[in-house]
Structure 1
């Protein structure tokens, strides 16, 4: 997680100069300015936009890694589960999947916990766990859409703030002193361009990673269903493969169940 955050910060630091230079070109500034000067010209809205840029890069890197097929359905986890199923060691398979930490191991572990209740219960457990994995990752993908919507709004607020300053300068000094007016107009252009420049890759990442997530989830579901396709449910009936502690005892008014 720390490595992902560091990558996002470094990428955002490379990303923000592009935003600033694009905005600087839009403002058509005659005097060459440093990157810090351009950010300062953008006004207060450059701070939240900078945070949005870091969050965008971090989310894209993080979701890309999480939705990788080798991350969602590791081949080594699939091989271990297949070998345990071929040996008929369902309890060992459950314990192994419990020790692993991948979406595939979560789905298989959940299905093995319900295998004693029949095929329908097992397939329902698979679908439920796959939906849970999909929902967790989809929430992260949706954050990119939120950033894509909110960043131009922040830039618009900066635009309104810059225009307010421009009209205030125009009202106090008139058109005889265009320096202050030009500074406020530059702030308006930088704020608008920066907001749009961050929103575009955020939306592109949202749609691309959403499709990538759907592909990964389908592959995960296929591998899990293939593993349980020929499971001997008749022999596993009422088997407590999970061997987890249960909290559903008989009613306390039953004294002698026998």
Structure 2
């Protein structure tokens, strides 16, 4: 191989190495320039995070005060809601309306024909079943129609007492959004007043007024939604329990021997209606009654 041919082979390799060295030099220089700048940016970001104030997480009491004066009646409604739900859940339970031991004892007394004892037992025990049975027993001497009318009246009385309490849930469900809306209106008034006096230069005051609007509205809806849910649920629960109570009491007076109980006074109620005082006594003539004209 001659010198010319050797130089022709090595010349392209030399050029390639030169270009590669130049690229490596430029890449290394750029990394040396970019690395300090990136490090400075990270340090500046870290300092900014350190200097930035940490967000304060609001507590429940902070939100209560932020809602304004309407939070006090809304809180009262929430307490009443919890009390009503707890009370009505117990009242609409068929096991409380007609306890098994009460039903069994009265059934045994009915089988024995001891209606006076059944009346006394119902009088001394407090339950819807005992109240309805006691009232019905006091009318057995007046016939089947009187007993059925007494049963119907007393069942309606029990139903109306519990239904009235359930209706209070609907009242709470309607009133709490209105109370929250009142807080919304007053909060918006404060917001516009703040905007008119200080303008947009102090956004913290404006945000506080808007926060009052949102908290008051949300609190009213937060109470109203479960109030309506439990209103319909407990109303349906009461209807089912009343049907079961009616079946249990009606079974007691089915096939009642009214013929043997005619004019019997089982209960202890006092009768106020007496024979008119102008009716003649036994063997005595009737005394004329003068009617003032």
Q: Normalising by the residue count of structure 2, what TM-score does the alignment of the two structures yield? A: 0.76
Q: How many corresponding residue pairs?
A: 229
C-alpha distance in 2, partners of 1:85/1:232?
A: 11
Q: CA deviation at 1:163?
A: 0.3
Q: Which of residues 225, 236, 244 is equivalent to 1:211?
A: 236
* Structure-2 change in CA distance of 1:53 and 1:257 (3 Å): farther
Aligned residue in 1 for 2:152:
127
Match of 1:199 in 2: 224
What's the counterpart of residue 81 of structure 2?
56
Q: Name which of 191, 194, 211 aligns with 1:166.
A: 191
Q: Once the 2 structures are TM-superposed, how far is the Cα of residue 117 of structure 1 from its aligned partner?
A: 1.1
1:104 is aligned to 2:129: yes
* Structure 2 unaligned blocks of 5 or more: 1-54, 284-293
Which structure has the larger Rg over C-alpha atoms? Answer: 2
What is the CA distance between 1:112 and its match in structure 2? 0.4
Query: How far, CA to CA, are the matches of 2:223 and 2:282 in structure 1?
Result: 67
Picking from 158, 162, 175, the partner of 1:150 is 175
The runs of at least 4 aligned residues of structure 1 exceeding 4 Å deviation read none
Which SS does the other structure have where 2:273 is aligned?
coil
Aligned pairs (5 A) from 1:134-145: 134-145=159-170
- Matched with 1:240 is 265
Structure 2 match to 1:22:
none
Aligned to 2:48: none
Query: What is the RMSD of the two structures over their aligned residues, measured on CA atoms?
Result: 1.1
Q: Take 1:122 and 1:109, find their aligned partners in 2: how far apart are those partners?
A: 11
Between the two structures, name the one with larger relative contact order (CA 8 Å, sep ≥ 6). Answer: 1
